[in-house]
Amino acid sequence: MSQKWNLQDIRPAGEARQKRRPIQKPRIISADDGNSPEIELDDRATRPRPNVRPRTDGPQIVIEDGTKKDRNRMVLAIVFFVVVVGAAALLSSLLGKTELTIYPEFRDPNINAEFTAFPTPTDGALSYEVMTLEETMESQVQASGKIDIQEQATGIIEISKSTPGAERLIKNTRFRSPDGLVYRIQESVVVPGAVNGNSGTIQAEVFADEIGEEYNLPAGTKFDIPGFEEGGFMDLFQAISASNPAAITGGFDGPQFQIDDGELNTARQAIQIELRNSLLAKVDSNKPAGMIAFPGAVAITYNQLPAIEYGQDLVTIREQAILQIPLFKADDFGTFMAKEAVATYDGGPVRVDDPAQLEFKYSSATTSRSVLANANSLSFSLIGKPRLIWEYSADKLTKDLAGLPKTAISNAITAYPGIERARVQVTPFWQRTFPENPDEIKIIEIIEEAQ
């Protein structure tokens, strides 16, 4: 009969069976009083354990606060957005600009015609105003003796009327200075009445009622007409007055040096040439803004002043030159030229780009040696090929566009007939509107030549 084995009796060869550690049971020790028992424990249960250090050679698990991490990300995103927006705004303010390029309508007509202009503005006619400049020069010449001279002072006065309606003043009408000196006009004149609150004016040549140097007066002296006061015409007396734009000179009573005619004429011609050049150089600097003056329109008159002794047998001769030139308002002149020379012109302001392209010449040669202020009109010819450019209000255009989208330019320029087309460039590129401030819109005008 074979032997039977239990599983617990089977163990691997060579493996020693581990001994079980006996479980110590607590011993109950009676207390000293014998009433309460004490339990005695093994001293290993109460023995202090040695410090245990965590392992650092293996992977560690870190637990993070997800809510705090999301909050930090949100703060960083907000800061980044603010920085980007601030940088963009700063870049726009530093580098931003708006340029509006305007291509105005223009024409280059050939002009060769006679025209007439008037000192008083008239509908449909070209008008002008006279600018007066005067200067005196002197030179020394050899004298041959003395003679007694008696001369009356002469000059030009500007007569004005502050009330409507023209008034005719006959030849020799008297004008009185504040000191009671009397002067008379050499020819009759018609003083125009006031228009729209602006006094009508006209110039006239005058001469002193008596001889003598005391009748030589400085520029700007005021005059009235004593005849109106004496006749009881007080309305006219108060409405019409005069002043001299240049000095009244030439009055003399006494001995004057005698000079050889040939030598005198040579000296006078030299002075007159110098005077003319000096006055012509002053035209542009004295011309008011917005006015056109043509060099060919100049009229100069000369007055010989009394000579004075310079030294032994030397005489100082003096010469006065008075320059007058008609001035045309630039806007009115350009519009008049467009109306006369451009068949398709349908209204609107026009300017002449370079008036020097036109040659101005009086129809009568004597006009350039006359007193223009006394003329009722001026006839002249113009020859040349000026450029006429249609005008527009740049200030109004920039105000109309301020704050609007860039695309508004197409509709805006339709209100300006003088503009053929326009182009806008705004930087930085993301800017889609015109600046709110019209002054920040820079206008560049380009004349687009035909290809």
Q: What is the CATH number of the domain that holds 230?
A: 2.40.30
The answer to whether residue 191 is domain-embedded is: yes
Look up the domain containing 240 and give its range. 147-256
Q: Tokens standing for 66?
A: 């997800």
Task: Please tell me the number of Cα atoms within 13 Å of 327 on its side-chain side.
Answer: 16
The answer to whether residue 76 is domain-embedded is: no
CA–CA distance, 246 with 58 (Å, rounded to integer): 113
The answer to whether residue 17 is domain-embedded is: no
Residues in Cβ contact with 195 at an 8 Å cutoff, skipping those fewer than 6 apart: 120, 121, 164
Residues in Cβ contact with 412 at an 8 Å cutoff, skipping those fewer than 6 apart: 397, 400, 401, 404
Task: Give the closest residue to 382 by CA, choosing from 416, 355, 359, 411.
Answer: 359
The answer to whether residue 312 is domain-embedded is: no
pLDDT in tens, the chain (451 residues): 445 545 444 455 544 455 555 555 555 444 444 454 544 445 554 555 555 555 555 555 555 555 666 676 777 777 776 666 555 555 555 456 888 899 999 999 999 999 999 988 888 889 999 999 999 999 888 887 777 888 899 999 999 999 999 999 999 999 999 999 999 999 999 999 999 888 999 999 999 999 999 999 998 999 999 999 999 999 999 999 999 988 999 898 887 777 778 888 898 999 999 999 999 999 999 999 999 999 999 999 998 887 777 666 788 888 999 999 999 999 899 999 999 999 989 888 999 999 999 999 999 989 988 888 878 899 999 999 999 999 988 889 989 888 888 888 888 888 888 888 888 888 877 788 888 888 888 988 888 764 4
The answer to whether residue 24 is domain-embedded is: no
The answer to whether residue 249 is domain-embedded is: yes
User: Per the structure, how many domains does the chain have?
Assistant: 1
The answer to whether residue 202 is domain-embedded is: yes
Residues in Cβ contact with 214 at an 8 Å cutoff, skipping those fewer than 6 apart: 181, 251
The answer to whether residue 185 is domain-embedded is: yes
